Structure 1
Amino acid sequence: MNQVDQCYLGVWKRRLIQHSSGRSDSETAVYWLQTPRLFGDLRIPSSSLPSLALEDLNDAQRLALCEQQGFAGVTQIDANICQWHRKMDYQPVNGEEDIGRMHFENSEHLIETALDESYYEIWERLPDSLGLCRGQWLLGVDDQSRQGCLLLAGDYFLFAANRPVPLAPGNHLREKLAQSENTTNPATLFSCELSFGRHHDGQTPWEIQCSTLPGRTGQRLLPSSVDPFAPAVFDNQAVLSSVGAYIPNGGWRCAPDP
C-alpha cells in the first residue's frame, strides 16, 4: 500500500457533517491526524464528562461514553477515493467499510462525500499541524494482541491503543454496556484509548486536550524531556515503557505498519 499524497498530511478538524436525511452536526469534536500511512481519528460529543477514572463514572456517564468514536489504522487513497482501514476501533467491529470521495476546495479545506451521497463532511486543516509528520505502529512486548500507535504532525500528537481485553464484534457500544450489566465490570468496555493534544515543541509536557478516557484530559501523555522532533523518538525507552493509560506487560515495541 503506497503512502498518501502530501496534501493529506496533518491534522484535519471536522467543521460539519450533513446527512441526506437532514440531520447535521457541527458540535462534536472530530480530529483526523494523517501521517504518510497511519491515521488516527477521534470523535468526542459536545456533552462534557468530568475528568474521572472509568471506575468512578456513574451509569449515565458510562452511557455517554458509548457515544464516543475513535479508530486508527492505515489510509489508502486511489485517485479521489479514500479508504481508512481500521486496525483498532473504540466501537465494536461491525464489518462496515470506511470510505469516501474527497475534494479539495483549496489546500486547507477538504470535502468528504459518501459514495452513496448519504452524507458530506467539511474538514479544515489546522495550521500548526504542518511540518514534520510521522507515525509508529506499536505492539505489546509480552502480548502481541495489544496494538497501539503514536502519530505526530507539526505541534500535534495522537496516541491510540486497543483494549487489554478484546471486544466482541457488534453494532454499538451501548449494546455491550447493557449486556455487561451485573456480569462484568463495565469499565473494561471503555479502556480503548485515543488521546489527542499538543506538545508545544517539547517545551511543556505533551498535554492531552481530549481523550476517550475522560480522566486523561488535561494530563500529559509524555514528559517534556521527550523531544518530538528527535529522529529516534519512537525508539526512546521512556516512550515505549510509559505511553498510555493501559500499558501492556513489558511495555511497547516498535512494529511494522499493519
Structure 2
Amino acid sequence: MDCREITRAKIAIPSLVGLWRRSLIEWDDGKRDESTKVFWLQGRNHFIDLRQPASLPRFPDRKCRDDLTYQDCLALSCQEGFAGHLQTNGDAYEWVRMVDYQPVQSLPDVGFLHWQNATLIETGKDLPYTEHWHREKGFTSSIPLHLQLEDRANGCQAVFLMVGRDFMFARNRTIPMPAGMTLHEAVSQASNEEHARQLVDCEISFGKIAKAGGPLIIHNSTLPWKTGTLFQFDLSGETIVTIPDIAPNGKNLTRRWHRVHTEGND
C-alpha cells in the first residue's frame, strides 16, 4: 500500500507564490530528466520560468551578443524559458505565455496540479509528462512585485517579477520567430551568424537579493554575459521604467520601458 499522502483538492493560484525548483520531469516513453536547472518564480497570478540543461557551457569569454559564435548560438538555443500569467482552465491550469524563449508551439501549456506530501505534482493535459516541484525554503509572505513592460519604439515586451528576495526578468527578442520548429532548428537554418545571434537574443534571468536593502544580482541567465551582474531599474517615473543593459557591441545601454501593468508596488 502506498501511504504517501496525495491531495487532489483544487489548488488556489495565490497559494503557489514563491520560488519553485524542479527535481524531475518524466515522459510517457520512460525518458527522465533530473539534471536540468529549473527556476519557476510564481507571483499572485504572473510567473517567469527558466530552464537550463546541465550540459550548457559557461561562456566565460562572452561579454556581449557580438561575441557569440554560430556554435555558441546553437548551444544557447537548447535553453527554455517563458513568462506570462497562470490561470485556471476547468480543472486544469494554463500557463499563458507572453514571452517565450522557444518559438510558439501549437498546443497550449495546460496541466493538472496536485500535492503529494510537500511535492507539487504537475501532469500534462495535452502532452504526456509528469513534473515534480518543490518550493524553496525561506519563502516569505511579502507581496510580489510584477511589472509588465513594453518598448513603444519596437513593440518588444518584458516582464519583471520579484517575490521576497528572489527576482526574475524576461525580455522578448525583437525579430519574428518561425513557427512549427524549435529554436535549435531555427538557429541551424539561420542565414548568417548575426541572424543566429538575433534569434537567441531573448533574456530570461534569475537572481537574488543577498540581504535586505542589498543589490539585485543575476545568478542565471539565457544571456551568459548577464550572469553575476547587477540588475538595476528605476521606478521613479510615472509611466517609464529605465533599466541599464548591455548593447550588442558591449557598450552601455539604457532601455526605456513603458509600464503596461504594475502589481504590488504599494
Q: Cα distance 1:141–1:249, how it changes in 2: closer, same or farther (>3 A)?
A: farther
Determine which structure has the larger helix proportion and give its number: 1
The letter for the 2-side match of 1:45 is P
Aligned equivalents of 2:175, 2:45: Cα separation in 1: 26
Which structure 2 residues correspond to residues 47-86 of structure 1 after superposition, within 5 A?
47=55, 48-51=57-60, 52=62, 53-78=64-89, 80-86=91-97
Aligned to 1:125: 135
Give the TM-score normalised by structure 1. 0.84
Deviation of 1:202 after TM superposition, in Å, equals 4.6
Q: Cα distance 1:79–1:185, how it changes in 2: closer, same or farther (>3 A)?
A: closer
- 2:244–2:253 Cα contact (<8 Å) kept: no
Deviation >6 Å, runs of 4+: 246-250
- 2:244–2:255 Cα contact (<8 Å) kept: no
Deviation of 1:179 after TM superposition, in Å, equals 1.8
Aligned equivalents of 2:14, 2:129: Cα separation in 1: 25
1:26 aligns with 2:41: no
SS at match of 1:187: helix
1:102 aligns with 2:113: yes
1:45 aligns with 2:53: yes
Could you report, residue by residue, the CA deviation over 1:91-148 in whole angstroms, capped at 9, with x for unpaired residues? 1112221011100224x520001125721100000123332223111111433x2111
**Residues matched between the structures, number:** 241
Q: Cα distance 1:183–1:201, how it changes in 2: closer, same or farther (>3 A)?
A: closer
Of the three residues 237, 254, 257, the one matched with 1:252 is: 257
Aligned equivalents of 1:39, 1:15: Cα separation in 2: 19
SS at match of 2:228: coil
Deviation of 1:74 after TM superposition, in Å, equals 1.2
CA RMSD of superposed structures (Å): 2.5
The letter for the 1-side match of 2:222 is T
Aligned equivalents of 1:126, 1:80: Cα separation in 2: 26
**Residues 151-160 or 130-139, more deviating:** 130-139
Q: Cα distance 1:55–1:202, how it changes in 2: closer, same or farther (>3 A)?
A: farther
Q: Is there any run of 5+ residues in structure 1 with no aligned partner, and where? A: 227-232
Aligned equivalents of 1:125, 1:161: Cα separation in 2: 25
Percent of matched pairs sharing the same residue: 33
The letter for the 2-side match of 1:182 is N
Could you report, residue by residue, the CA deviation over 1:150-169 in whole angstroms, capped at 9, with x for unpaired residues? 10111100000101223232
Aligned equivalents of 2:203, 2:139: Cα separation in 1: 21
Aligned equivalents of 1:202, 1:161: Cα separation in 2: 26
**Residues 177-186 or 154-163, more deviating:** 177-186
Give the TM-score normalised by structure 2. 0.81
The letter for the 1-side match of 2:243 is S
SS at match of 1:36: coil
Determine which structure has the larger strand proportion and give its number: 2
The letter for the 2-side match of 1:29 is K
Aligned equivalents of 1:119, 1:150: Cα separation in 2: 28
Of the three residues 23, 27, 33, the one matched with 1:15 is: 23
